[in-house]
Structures are given as structure tokens and as C-alpha cells.
Amino acid sequence: MYATSATALLIGVAALAMLDAERHAEGAAITSYGTALWWAMETVTTVGYGDMAPVTTTGRLIAGALMIGGIALLGIVTATLASWLVERVAEQDEASQAATRKQVADLSEEVRALAARTHRVDLASVDTDSLRRELASRGVVAQHASSDN
């Protein structure tokens, strides 16, 4: 919104200044506000067809200022867009980190609960095949084909 308003203001003011500087100059191509406005738009966008050029020193100074202003506005718009994108990526990264922290907390709690259960269980009575299948079904370990050795 601000960049659009600033661009419109820059073009309008530059067109008026150029018209004032060039209107009565000999050999000037910019002699009406419409022509000056078109010249300002093609100059600020760095298109510059070459169909019109200022002939007075004042007009050339205005043209130089408008060229620099156009490049500056392009830089501002680019920087604003980049800043917005970085902010969105940071928000997504923070949400992802929060989910990861919750998963780590949940897993830590589950490990504590399992550790407490193992103190009460006689590990000699655990069926290792059943344990392996249970861990594989949860994706904790890869499921291997049973080998009869």
C-alpha cells in the first residue's frame, strides 16, 4: 500500500517537475502533462523506450533523480517481500520446533514409564519375538524375517 502510494506520488511529482522544466524548451518532446506522465512511468520502471528525453539541464537532473528513485522503490518492494517471507518461514519453523518439543516430552514420559515398569518386571520372562514384533509395529525397529536357527 505504502509502496504503491509512494510510486504514484513520485511519478506524479516527477511528471509535473519535468513538464515545468521542458514545456517551453526548444526541441522538447515533453510538452503536455500526459506526455510527461508517460515519460515518468517509463523512466521510473527503467523501461526508457528512448522516444522522449529531456533537453534541459533541469530536466536531466529530474530524470536522474527519478531513475534513482525508481531503483530505490524497487529495492524497498523487494526488501519488504523478502522480510515478509522470512517472517512466515520463521513462524512455520517455530511451530515445527514446538511440535518436536512436545514429541520429545511425550517420548521422555513414555521412557520414564517403561523404565518404572522394567523395575517391576522379570526380564527373563519377556518373550523377545513378541517384543520385536511390537517394536516393529510401532516403527521403532525394522521388522526382520524370522530365521529358525
Q: What is the set of domains in the chain, with CATH numbers?
A: 2-98 (1.10.287.70), 100-137 (no CATH)
Q: For 36-94, what is each residue's pLDDT tens digit? A: 999 999 998 878 788 889 999 999 999 999 999 888 888 888 998 999 999 988 888 88
Joined together, the cell numbers standing for residue 101 give 518439543
CA 63/CA 59 separation, integer angstroms: 6
Q: For 90-119, what is each residue's pLDDT tens digit? A: 888 887 787 788 888 888 888 888 877 766
What's the confidence (pLDDT) of residue 123? 56
Amino acid at 55: V
Mean per-residue pLDDT for 25-46? 92
- Axis crossing angle, helix 2-22 with helix 57-120, rounded to the nearest 10: 170
Joined together, the cell numbers standing for residue 86 give 522470512
Confidence at 121, pLDDT banded by 50, 70, 90:
low
Question: Can you give the pTM of this predicted structure?
Answer: 0.57
